[in-house]
């Protein structure tokens, strides 16, 4: 077969026993065996002889992580390709866990040593355009809290170069628990009502451990000190957060401008309390293993920020989630326990400000996900969407009511959309010949 010489800037993916490279023109070619692996590790730009493009070694696109048949081989290739991964990899079993909304999470059991022992690993495979940021942020958080009393997963290997991943996206490998039972705190609150007060108090203590101003984790990165000492920290943080809530491809965020102005105008009157924050501290992100040990997961929103952003989000979710809405006394128990640990006391008026921001953020998630961003995660089956939205409307309406209570504002257009959307979808169910997202766009 004729060959030709080309210089490639490429990304590579592992698949079976081959390395599959992609050049700048999205052409693909393969290299076999250990020689290919050595070249892959030694450098990212090289001159290679490749078969003529008409040859048989050019392949179609790789199958993604959703193909269960490819998972075992991809796991084996991933582990063996990295010399930093500890020990040989012998796959004994795997399963998908968690909600695949922002990432695919695999619980993997592999053999250790020669005596039939095994250990559990968690492979978190990130998705979307911000996958790299999420991978690096979560790895930083786990390392930061790894030597403190905050219970977090232990990171094993961080592959933050998507080109080196068999799935073409960053991967974080963490140690899992060899446990017989594993439940989220949200499940515990639902299944064991007699112990709700105990679980809520424990959750408040865990959140305080993250925020604790005396925690050694606060000094993990020296650059954080400048943030902690900035008197205008909260003003800058709020400006940044509002900018992040208004992505350029989403046009209809102007219906929230009244709320953005309210948040900005009050930021300068609230004394900042900077610290380390989880970003999504809710019961579903706290795991309990074998009825004993706890672990806080999903650190992709970890940040140095005002701790009340964290606390406000937790309270908002407590007040509005369908599961917990009937147990409003849990919020009082939670705040009582948290305030008992935190000095000086957090003012109610200041906390209301952060709860209002959390409501705004949550409502914008609703508008962005369900109304403005027609992507593969939204069902185009009207019946499925109707059922889903019917179940969610209780939560979204509760969020809006809480926002109106805390900010003493009404957002007329937001309220109109929330009231009309369910009836619109109900009436549109029969119009299956129309594109759903087009109908929503016309409606809005």
- Alpha helices of 249-381 — where are they, by DSSP H? 257-267, 307-320, 329-341, 348-366
Give the number of other CB atoms < 10 A from CB of residue 72.
Answer: 13
* One domain for residues 251 and 359: yes
* Same domain as 334, residue 285: yes
Instruction: Yes or no: say if 228 and 218 are a contact pair by the CB < 8 Å rule.
Output: yes
Residue 59 lies in a domain: no
107 and 201 share one domain: no
If asked whether residues 106 and 39 sit together in one domain, one would say no
Identify the CATH number of the domain in which residue 347 sits: 3.90.1200.10
380 and 434 part of one domain:
yes
216 within a domain of the structure (yes/no): yes
In a shared domain, residues 153 and 248: no
Whether the per-residue pLDDT at 5 is higher than 60: the answer is no
Q: Does residue 66 sit within a domain?
A: no
Flag the least confident range among 52-66, 239-253, 311-325. 52-66
Whether 71 is in a domain gets the answer no
Residues 138 and 236 in one domain: no
Q: What is the DSSP letter of 356?
A: H
Pick from 11, 34, 51: which residue ends a domain? 51
- In this structure, is residue 63 part of a structural domain? no
Indicate whether 64 belongs to any domain. Answer: no
The pLDDT value recorded for residue 386 is: 64
Q: Does residue 174 share a domain with residue 193?
A: no
| Residue whose tokens read 């940021």 | 133
Question: Order of strands across the sheet with 18-22?
Answer: 11-15, 18-22, 28-32
User: Do 306 and 188 share a structural domain?
Assistant: yes
Question: Based on the domain organization, do 174 and 211 belong to the same domain?
Answer: no
Q: Which of 60, 62, 61, 55 is nearest to 77 (CA)?
A: 62
- Count of the separate structural domains present in the chain: 3
What pTM value is reported for the model?
0.79
Asked which of 178, 196, 230 is the last residue of a domain, the reply is 178
Which pLDDT belongs to residue 40?
35
37: domain range?
3-51
Q: What is the average per-residue pLDDT within 186-200? A: 90
Structure confidence at residue 126 (pLDDT): 93
From CA 7, how far away is CA 164, in angstroms rounded? 19
Indicate whether 316 pLDDT > 90: yes
Contact residues for 212 (Cβ-Cβ < 8 A; gap 6+): 275
Specify the 3-state DSSP secondary structure of 291.
Answer: coil
Residue count of the chain: 444
Reported as a single tens digit per residue, the pLDDT across 163-181 is 888 888 999 999 988 777 8
The average pLDDT across 238-264 equals: 81
Residues 239 and 166 in one domain: no
- Please say whether the beta carbons of 101 and 377 come within 8 A: yes
Q: Answer yes or no: is 78 within a domain.
A: no
Of 178, 211, 245, the residue that ends a domain is 178
Q: Where are the alpha helices (DSSP H) in 181-306?
A: 185-191, 196-211, 224-228, 233-245, 257-267
State the Cα–Cα distance between residues 389 and 367, nearest whole angstrom.
12
What is the rounded average pLDDT of the residues 18-22? 32
Cα–Cα dist 148/143, whole Å: 10
370 found inside a domain = yes
CB neighbours (10 Å) of residue 273?
20
Give residue-wise pLDDT tens across range 349-403. Answer: 999 999 999 999 999 887 776 555 444 444 555 566 666 666 677 888 889 999 9
Q: Could you tell me the CATH number of the domain that includes residue 96?
A: 3.30.200.20
413 vs 174 pLDDT, higher one? 174
The DSSP secondary-structure symbol of 408 reads: -
174 and 296 housed in the same domain: no
């Amino acid at each position: 077969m004729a060959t030709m010489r080309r210089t490639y800037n490429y990304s590579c993916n592992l698949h079976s026993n081959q390395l599959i490279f992609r050049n700048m023109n999205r052409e693909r070619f393969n290299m076999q065996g250990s020689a290919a692996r050595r070249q892959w590790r030694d450098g990212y730009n090289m001159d290679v002889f490749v078969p003529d493009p008409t040859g048989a070694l050019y392949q179609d696109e790789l199958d993604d992580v959703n193909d269960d048949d490819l998972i075992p081989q991809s796991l084996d290739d991933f582990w063996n390709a990295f010399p930093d991964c500890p020990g040989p990899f012998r796959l004994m079993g795997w399963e998908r866990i968690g909600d695949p909304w922002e990432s695919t999470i695999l619980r993997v059991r592999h053999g250790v040593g020669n005596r039939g022992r095994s250990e559990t690993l968690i492979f978190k495979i990130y998705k979307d355009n911000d996958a790299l940021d999420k991978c690096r942020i979560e790895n930083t958080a786990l390392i930061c809290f790894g030597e403190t009393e905050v219970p977090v997963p232990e990171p094993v290997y961080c592959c933050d170069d998507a080109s080196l991943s068999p799935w073409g996206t960053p991967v974080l490998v963490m140690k899992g628990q060899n446990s017989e039972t594993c439940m989220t705190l949200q499940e515990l609150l639902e299944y064991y009502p007699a112990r709700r007060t105990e679980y809520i108090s424990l959750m408040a203590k865990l959140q305080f451990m993250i925020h604790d101003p005396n925690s050694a984790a606060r000094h993990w990165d020296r650059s954080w000190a400048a943030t902690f000492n900035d008197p205008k920290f909260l003003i800058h943080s709020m400006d940044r957060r509002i900018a992040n809530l208004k992505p350029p491809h989403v046009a209809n965020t102007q219906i929230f401008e009244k709320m953005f102005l309210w948040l900005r105008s009050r930021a300068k009157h609230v004394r900042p309390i900077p610290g380390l924050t989880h970003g999504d501290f809710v019961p579903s992100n706290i795991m309990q293993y074998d009825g004993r040990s706890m672990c806080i997961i999903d650190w992709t929103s970890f940040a140095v920020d005002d701790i009340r952003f964290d606390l406000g989000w937790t309270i908002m979710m407590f007040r509005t989630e369908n599961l917990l809405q009937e147990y409003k006394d849990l919020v009082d128990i939670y705040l009582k326990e948290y305030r008992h640990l935190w000095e000086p006391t957090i003012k109610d008026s200041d906390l209301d400000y952060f709860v209002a921001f959390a409501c705004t953020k949550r409502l914008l998630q609703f508008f962005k996900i369900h109304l403005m961003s027609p992507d593969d995660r939204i069902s185009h089956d009207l019946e499925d969407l109707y059922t889903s939205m019917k179940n969610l409307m209780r939560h979204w309406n509760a969020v809006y009511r809480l926002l109106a209570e805390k900010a003493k504002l009404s957002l007329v257009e937001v309220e109109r959309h929330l009231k009309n959307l369910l009836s619109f979808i109900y009436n549109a169910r029969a119009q299956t010949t129309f594109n759903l997202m087009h109908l929503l766009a016309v409606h809005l």
